[in-house]
Amino acid sequence: MNNVSSKTLDYRSTELLKKKHLSITESRKKILSIFLETKDALAHGDIEKKASEKFDRVTIYRTLQSFVEKGLIHSIPTSDNSVRYALCKDCTEGHHHDDHVHFVCSNCEKTICLDDVVSPKLNLPQGYNADNVQVVIHGVCIECS
Amino acid sequence: MNNVSSKTLDYRSTELLKKKHLSITESRKKILSIFLETKDALAHGDIEKKASEKFDRVTIYRTLQSFVEKGLIHSIPTSDNSVRYALCKDCTEGHHHDDHVHFVCSNCEKTICLDDVVSPKLNLPQGYNADNVQVVIHGVCIECS
DNA sequence: GTAACTGCAAAATATTTGCATCCTT
DNA sequence: AAGGATGCAAATATTTTGCAGTTAC
C-alpha cells in the first residue's frame, strides 16, 4: 500500500464515518479502511489478520456492532458459524436494504456481494409477508473458474 | 405426547436412520424424533431444551454433524451466529439439494422451510456459476399475521 | 469381536461485560 | 468538560478433542 492510496482511504473512511454520525477515531478509520480496500466480505477474524497493527478483539467486536447499527456494513447469512460483514451500499441507521445477492465461492471461500443482482420477488404462500429477501449462492466465482 | 405417536416417531426415525446408513442408537432416534415432530428449524440449543432427557452437549454436536453429512438434515443460513438445522426432504450423502426458501418470522423468531417455494434462477454476471441458491426471507409468518 | 457411538473431562475458541483511562467533540 | 471509545482483565458461552467405557451390528 502506498502513501497516496492510504491517504485516500483515510479520507474516504473519515467522510463515511461523518456521514453516518460516528465519531472519528483511529480504530474506526483503520477498520473501515480494511472494508474499503477489500472486495469480499470479512469475518471478525479476517479483520484481526488484515489489520497492520493489533487491535483489541473487543474493540473490533464493538466497532463492527456500531457499524452495523449505523448502516455502514451489513452481516451476511452463512450456513456455518462464521458471521461475515460487507460494506452497505446505501443503508441508513436502523434500516438495512441490502437486497442484493451474495456469492460464496466454494473454491477460494470468498464471499462477494453481487450488488447488481437484486433479490427476486417470490410468490409466498398465503399469509406470509416478506420484508426482506436474502440470497446466498454457492458456486465458483469468476476468479476461480 | 402419547404412546402411539411416540411409537410412530420411534419407528419413523429408525427407518430414516437405516435408509441413510447410520447406526441406530437411542440418542440418534431421540434427536431425529425431535426434528420429526417440529415444523420449524432447530438450533443446537433448541435440541437441548426440547430433549426430555439430558444429552451430553458433545453428543448433540456430533449427532448433528453426522446427520448433515448423511443428508438427513441441512443447515440454514442466518445473519446472526446461530446455526439452525431442518430435515432434508430428499438429500443424499454428500449432496444436498435443499433449494427451497427459508422463512424467518420477525415476530415469533421461528425459521420455517417453505418446501414448495423453490429458489429462483438468477442471472449472474459472466463467469459466476451457481451450484446452489439459498434464500432466506425475513417477514411475518402465517401464524403471526 | 470390532468398529462406531457416547459421556466425561478438559482444552481451545469465541463473545460479552465491567471498569478505569484516554480521546473526540 | 462531558460523553463516548478503547484496552485490559475476567466472566461466559460455544465448540472441539482425547480417551475410556459402552453399544450396535
The contact set of A with B (CB < 8 A) is 75-81, 83, 101, 103, 106, 114, 116-117, 119-120, 122-142, 145
Which pLDDT score is estimated for B26? 95
Q: Give the model confidence (pLDDT) of B71-92 as tens digits.
A: 999 999 888 878 999 998 766 6
Low pLDDT (below 70) residues in chain A? 1-6, 90-98
In this complex, the residue with its CA at the shortest distance from the C1' of nucleotide C25 is: A23
Answer whether B91's CB lies under 8 Å from B106's CB. Answer: no
Q: Test B125 with A117 for CB contact under 8 angstroms.
A: yes
User: What is the Cα–Cα distance from A115 to A110, expressed in whole angstroms?
Assistant: 15
Q: Is residue A49 in some structural domain?
A: yes
The contact set of B with A (CB < 8 A) is 75-81, 83, 101, 103, 106, 114, 116-117, 119-120, 122-142, 145
- Grid cell of A122 as nine digits: 417470490
Which pLDDT score is estimated for B132? 84
Q: Is residue B13 in some structural domain?
A: yes
Q: Test A128 with B116 for CB contact under 8 angstroms.
A: no
User: Which residues is A84 bridged to in the sheet?
Assistant: A43, A76
Q: Which residue has the higher pLDDT, B68 or B118?
A: B68
Q: Is residue B14 in some structural domain?
A: yes
Answer whether B125's CB lies under 8 Å from B74's CB. Answer: no
The domain that contains B71 carries what CATH number?
1.10.10.10
Among B115, B49, B105, residue whose Cα is nearest residue B78: B105
User: Which residues is A102 bridged to in the sheet?
Assistant: A113, A136
Q: Is residue B83 in some structural domain?
A: yes
| Dihedral in degrees, nearest 10, Cα atoms A34, A89, A116, A44 | 40
CB atoms within 10 A of CB A17: 20
CB atoms within 10 A of CB B90: 8
Q: Is residue A101 in some structural domain?
A: yes
Q: Test B130 with A145 for CB contact under 8 angstroms.
A: no
Domain total of chain A: 1
Q: Is the pLDDT of residue B4 over 60?
A: no
Distance of CA B26 to the CA centre of its chain: 19
Q: Is residue A144 in some structural domain?
A: no
pTM of whole model > 0.85?
A: yes
Q: Which of B84, B135, B136, B138 to mutate to test the interface with A (most CBs of A within 10 A)?
A: B135
CB atoms within 10 A of CB A59: 13
Instruction: Note the CA–C1' distance, B144 to C22, in angstroms.
Output: 48
Domain span at residue A33? 3-139
What does the DSSP 8-state code read for residue A73? E
Which pLDDT score is estimated for B111? 92
Q: Is residue B144 in some structural domain?
A: no
